[in-house]
């Protein structure tokens, strides 16, 4: 269980990771910032609080696996991997450039810490299910975590994997559905309403929980409780805000993919710098 | 023993099961397709390594890729279009792009599901699979080669698609190691070369015999690895015989014939005739033998096409 200081430290990490995302957006001039910012708190909590992961040994057999089914949110993944030390932060400055190892959708062959080549939606849950199936039963059993978008859930392959994960009793598999409620064309509930998402997963045999996915304390508390139930895969429906942390972009569909305006980008960086400063002080006070 | 008639699916399942005894990394996925794929013994001996998922080919391909990332060697066998066309994007991304060690096996391939219609026939699988970089495509030509190809594909690290048929096929060859990427001359000849793959090779060999009765000396090359194709063997034959006829249970466009044509495209005075199915949906139903006859892919049909080709390309 995390104390206040640890929570404050994780919030600081999340802010630093958001700053890393902006660094990539500045380099490339654009990026899928909306989903990256909505999911980044959970991804930060996973890497800095929960997962058995070692940036110096990214292929360790017993490592926990994280893969981003919603591959377009990869700025969040790159930001967290960089902050964790999987690669030098100067790599972030190559985003959008010729030959960069951090393309708009992740490539496991190019970057340490990336477990799957996602981006085509509806693939991640199947791959994660296979990874969880392959885990040893006793010693060396690892956990598999994946983040899907809410907009990708209509892909039928998700539900194929959902059925299989339940049949095989994969309690080492957790999916976080980043339920920010917006996709390119508008509200997810208007485009293809799958609500109640949690009841659908429950009906497939999953154990489910709904949380505020941008509240670090809640996220960490949830991670402490995994698996939600022995013998069942877990689905955490993360209620999040698209572009969370981008004061002018929150909950706006235009920020699903952002062709960055430099003035706004500068503003976002200033605001994050202030937030980072405040969080640093908070962490120091709690020392 | 040569001439014995063997069920290709049983031979395939037996070979995987034998390999699994020595290699604990081998696992099998079933989309309600395992028993029909010859895995009855595998289920019996290795129940913990057999995953019945029901009919969900897209999900299975993803899961197989996920398992392969952790060192397993998943084998997934089902009716050919359901492991190729149906989950194509998963094969392309999760197995191909991720370079995972997954073995896809399409059974009842070609037009062997003759009377079940176009949905169940697989006459585009070579074309689909060859466009995935790094995908090895195997089409063993007799039961002996099925056994060898299974062993070779399980030892090979990387994505493989293998196709096998449905009706019993005769043993044509003595046992020998199967080498991925190698074809072989099955019958010498210097007037033209017939290049065939899979179960078409039996008909190609018979056609060569019919042609010999008319004093036409056709070389026959068996090409059990469709991709990567044995370029040297093809080019040597093209240089020596000038004329090439390809035979496959596949669209005449986009499969073995197209690949052979690509290989010889820069060679002067080489002509290629591609025998296969017309590129259309109007595939007639009927018994397998009748369909082969209808599409001139049986021995008599191949021999007639060869003679016509010799006449028109003279």
Express each pLDDT in A85-98 by its tens digit: 999 999 999 999 99
- Which contacts of B49-57 are long-range, i.e. CB under 8 A and separated by 24 or more positions? B49/B20, B49/B24, B51/A133, B51/A164, B51/A168, B51/B27, B53/A160, B53/A163, B53/A164, B53/A167, B53/B29, B54/A163, B55/B31, B56/A157, B56/A160, B56/A163, B56/A164, B56/B31, B57/B31, B57/B82, B57/B83, B57/B86, B57/B87
Task: Provide the pLDDT for residue A199.
Answer: 98
CB contact under 8 A, A127 and B58: no
- Do A120 and B63 make contact, defined as CB atoms within 8 angstroms? no
For residue B51, give the nearest of A61, A109, A133 by CB distance: A133
Q: Which residue of B has its CA nearest to A159?
A: B59
Closest CA to B148 of B127, B178, B172, B124: B178
Q: Which of A135, A161, A167 sits opposite B62 (nearest CB)?
A: A161
Chain B positions in Cβ-Cβ contact with residue A164 (cut-off 8 Å)? 51, 53, 56, 59, 63
Query: pLDDT at residue A6 above 90?
Result: yes
What is the pLDDT at residue B115? 87
What number of C-beta contacts closer than 8 Å exist between A and B?
A: 96
CB contact under 8 A, B69 and A163: no
For residue A119, the distance in angstroms to the closest alpha carbon of chain B comes to 9
Shortest Cα distance, chain B CAs vs residue A157, angstroms: 5
Task: Report the pLDDT value the prediction gives residue A174, as an integer from 0 to 100.
Answer: 98
Please give the pLDDT value at position B285: 84
For B193-219, how does the pLDDT look when each residue is reduced to its tens digit (9 = 90+)?
Answer: 999 999 999 999 999 999 999 999 999
Confidence of residue A280 (pLDDT cuts 50, 70, 90): very high
Of A108, A126, A131, the CB nearest to B59: A126
Number of folded domains that form chain A: 1
pLDDT greater than 80 at residue B314: no
pLDDT of residue B44 exceeding 80, the answer is yes
Distance, in angstroms, between A118 CA and closest chain B CA?
8
Whether B49 has its CB under 8 Å from any CB of chain A: the answer is: no
Instruction: Select the residue from B70, B88, B102, B134 to test the A interface by mutation, using most A Cβ atoms within 10 A.
Output: B70
State the residue range of the domain holding A190: 4-285
Q: Higher pLDDT residue, A229 or B282?
A: A229
- Categorize the per-residue pLDDT at B137 as very low, low, confident or very high, splitting at 50, 70 and 90: very high
Q: Measured at the alpha carbon of residue A118, what is the angle toward residues B103 and B65, in degrees to the nearest 5?
A: 20
pLDDT tens column, B145-157 = 999 999 999 999 9
Top pLDDT among A1 and A176 is at A176
ipTM of the complex: 0.96
Q: How high is the mean pLDDT of chain B?
A: 96
Average pLDDT over residues B234-253: 98
Closest C-alpha to A12, from A53, A50, A31, A40: A40
Question: Which chain B residue is nearest to residue A160, measuring alpha carbons?
Answer: B59
B 97-156 residues with CB < 8 A to A? 97-99
Residue A65: which pLDDT band, with cuts at 50, 70 and 90? very high
CB spacing of A129 vs B66 below 8 angstroms: yes
A107 contact residues in B (CB cutoff 8 A): 97
Residue A1: pLDDT band (50, 70, 90) is confident
Q: How confident is the model at residue A268 (pLDDT cuts 50, 70, 90)?
A: very high
- Give the residue extent of every domain in chain B: 5-170, 184-307
Domain B184-307 has CATH 3.30.70.1450: no
Task: Say if residue B151 is exposed, middle or buried (CB neighbours under 10 Å; 0-12, 13-18, 19+).
Answer: middle
Q: How confident is the model at residue B283 (pLDDT cuts 50, 70, 90)?
A: confident
Residues of B with CB below 8 A from A167's CB? 53
Domain B5-170 top-level CATH class: alpha beta
Residue B117: pLDDT band (50, 70, 90) is: confident
* pLDDT over 90 at B67, yes or no: yes
- Give residue A122's pLDDT: 97
Cβ–Cβ contact B47 with A under 8 A: no
Residue B299 scores a pLDDT above 90: yes
- For residue B121, give the 3-state DSSP assignment: coil
Of B63, B68, B94, the CB nearest to A164: B63
pLDDT at B291: 94
* Residue B89 at interface with chain A, using a CB cutoff of 8 Å: yes
The CATH number assigned to the domain holding A234 equals 3.40.50.970
Q: Exposed, middle or buried: residue B312 (CB in 10 Å: 0-12, 13-18, 19+)?
A: exposed
């Amino acid at each position: 269980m995390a104390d206040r200081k640890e929570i404050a430290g994780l919030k600081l990490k999340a802010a630093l990771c958001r700053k890393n995302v902006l660094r990539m957006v500045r380099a490339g001039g654009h990026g899928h910032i909306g989903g990256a910012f909505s999911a980044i708190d959970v991804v930060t909590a996973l890497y800095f609080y929960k997962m058995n992961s070692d940036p110096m040994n990214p292929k360790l057999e017993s490592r926990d696996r994280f893969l981003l089914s919603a591959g377009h949110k990869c700025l969040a993944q790159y930001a967290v991997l960089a902050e964790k030390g999987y690669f030098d932060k100067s790599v972030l400055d190559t985003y959008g450039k010729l030959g960069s190892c951090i393309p708009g959708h992740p490539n496991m062959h190019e970057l340490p810490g990336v477990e799957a080549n996602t981006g085509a939606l509806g693939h991640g849950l199947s791959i994660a299910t296979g990874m969880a199936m392959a885990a040893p039963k006793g010693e060396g059993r690892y956990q598999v975590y994946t983040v899907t978008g809410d907009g990708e859930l209509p892909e039928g392959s998700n539900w194929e994997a959902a059925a299989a994960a339940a049949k095989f009793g994969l309690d080492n598999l957790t999916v976080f559905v980043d339920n920010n409620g917006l996709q390119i064309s508008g509200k997810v509930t208007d485009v293809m309403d799958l609500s109640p998402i949690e009841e659908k997963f429950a009906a497939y045999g999953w154990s489910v929980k709904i949380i505020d996915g941008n509240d670090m304390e809640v996220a960490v508390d949830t991670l402490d409780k995994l698996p939600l139930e022995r013998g069942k895969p877990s689905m955490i429906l993360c209620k999040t805000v698209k572009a969370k942390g981008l004061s002018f972009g929150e909950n706006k569909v235009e920020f699903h993919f952002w062709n960055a305006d430099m003035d706004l980008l500068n503003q976002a960086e200033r605001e994050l710098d202030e937030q980072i400063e405040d969080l640093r002080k908070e962490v120091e006070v709690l020392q | 023993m040569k001439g014995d008639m063997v069920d290709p699916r049983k031979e395939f399942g037996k070979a995987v099961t034998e390999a699994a005894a020595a290699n604990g990394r081998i696992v099998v996925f079933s989309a309600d397709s395992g028993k029909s794929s010859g895995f009855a013994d595998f289920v019996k001996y290795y129940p913990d390594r057999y995953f019945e998922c029901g009919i969900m080919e897209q999900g299975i391909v993803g899961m197989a890729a996920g398992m392969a990332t952790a060192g397993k060697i998943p084998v997934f066998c089902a009716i050919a279009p359901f492991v190729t066309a149906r989950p194509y994007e998963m094969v392309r991304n999760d197995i191909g792009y991720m370079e995972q060690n997954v073995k896809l096996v399409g059974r009842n391939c070609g037009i062997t599901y003759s009377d079940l219609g176009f949905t169940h026939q697989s006459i585009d699988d070579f074309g689909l699979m060859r466009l995935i970089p790094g995908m090895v495509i195997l089409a063993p030509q007799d039961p002996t080669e099925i056994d060898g190809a299974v062993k070779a594909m399980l030892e090979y690290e990387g994505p493989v698609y293998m196709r096998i048929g449905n009706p019993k096929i005769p043993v044509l060859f003595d046992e020998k190691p199967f080498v991925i990427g190698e074809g072989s001359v099955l019958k010498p000849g210097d007037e033209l070369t017939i290049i065939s793959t899979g179960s078409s090779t039996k008909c190609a060999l018979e056609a060569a015999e019919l042609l010999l009765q008319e004093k036409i000396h056709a070389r026959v090359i068996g090409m059990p690895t469709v991709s990567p194709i044995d370029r040297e063997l093809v080019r040597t034959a093209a240089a020596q015989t000038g004329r090439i006829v390809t035979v496959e249970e596949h669209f005449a466009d986009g499969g073995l014939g197209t690949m052979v044509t690509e290989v010889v495209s820069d060679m002067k005075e080489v002509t290629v005739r591609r025998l296969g199915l017309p590129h259309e949906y109007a595939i007639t139903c009927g018994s397998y033998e009748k369909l082969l006859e209808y599409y001139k892919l049986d021995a008599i049909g191949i021999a007639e096409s060869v003679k016509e080709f010799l006449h028109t390309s003279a």
